[in-house]
Amino acid sequence: MTVYNLGSINIDHSYRMAHLPAPGETIAARELVTGLGGKGANQSIAIARAGGDVRHIGRIGPEGGWTVDRLAAEGVDVSHVATGQTPTGHAIIAVDDAAENAIILFPGANRRIGPDQVAAALAGAQDGDWLLLQNETSAGLAAARMAREKGLKVCYCAAPFDSGAVREILPHTDLLSVNEGEEAQLRADLSDDVVGAVARLVTYGARGAAWIAGKQVVEVPAVAVTPVDTTGAGDCFLGTALAGVDAGDGIEAALARAAAAAALQVTRQGAADAIPTAGEVAAFLAERR
């Protein structure tokens, strides 16, 4: 099947430093790396590198053509990525020596996606395909409604967490992806009945991840590695897991590969550029048997 990803496309400027700056503090960075990022782009590349069929729905500015070329080179269908005059989204990422990060995000063109663009992209979608979306673009609610009407399954990555967006989109969601902090916010804002009505994929960082669907709980441990940069690890995990589920793999197997992919990714610097291929993940798992 196919995953249609209504997702952000960002230009990441990643700065390496000894520690994250405190309020009012100025720190000289040791290194600057500029590359492709955005939760949507990261997830599309993770799906493609895991062997999935993914079509990206997005928008860039006049200076962002190279980001689309980069997605296309990974095997992502970019026929529904539009170009306008609003600058491409970008992120300023500070990464410290403990591999923790702090991010300033400018949404830019990601917030200029309209329902008509989404409708055109979903025109060829088939019953059983997936729509993946996050909170970094516009048109999320309209897209979720359209997808459900066409018989698609909807995977909603509720990040960055926005309580209002979650309330609107959750009724149209088949699989909700959150991290531990976002799940806590979810439970603080919504009743257990509402939260429990949708399957959830929850990542717990170094403590692994869980797939929770009613009474079904599938847990996988994290793979122990020495991290270099944790930027985009959650996107790598979700994209890899969704590609496996879409391919018909069992949930436990899909999550195990996703955990291995995320572990490999954090041993490298960067976001999209650091996502491993299916072959690299397979070799990594084989080494640990």
Q: Which H/E stretch holds residue 82?
A: strand 77-83
Judge whether 26 lies within some domain.
no
The total of structural domains in the chain comes to 1
Q: How far apart are CA 220 and CA 148, in angstroms?
A: 29
Q: How far apart are CA 272 and CA 70, in angstroms?
A: 10
pLDDT in tens, 177-231: 999 999 999 989 888 888 889 999 999 988 999 999 999 999 999 999 999 888 8
**C-alpha 87: how far from chain center:** 21
Q: Give the CATH number, domain containing residue 185.
A: 3.40.1190.20
Q: Which H/E stretch holds residue 228?
A: none
Q: How far apart are CA 253 and CA 251, in angstroms?
A: 6
User: Could you give the residue ranges of the DSSP H alpha helices within the chain?
Assistant: 39-49, 65-73, 115-122, 140-149, 163-169, 180-189, 192-196, 233-246, 251-266, 278-287
The residue segments making up the domain with residue 275 are 2-9+37-89+110-287
Phi, psi dihedral angles at 252 (to 5 degrees): -60, -40
Tell me which of 77, 235, 246, 273 is the catalytic residue. 235
Note if 235 is an active site residue. Answer: yes
Q: Which residue has the higher pLDDT, 269 or 151?
A: 151
Judge whether 29 lies within some domain.
no
> For the chain, what is the radius of gyration of the CA atoms?
18
Q: What percent of the chain has pLDDT over 70?
A: 100
Confidence of residue 288 (pLDDT cuts 50, 70, 90): confident
The structure's pTM equals 0.93
Q: How far apart are CA 269 and CA 285, in angstroms?
A: 21
Judge whether 95 lies within some domain.
no
The H helix count followed by the E strand count for the chain is 10, 13
Judge whether 76 lies within some domain.
yes
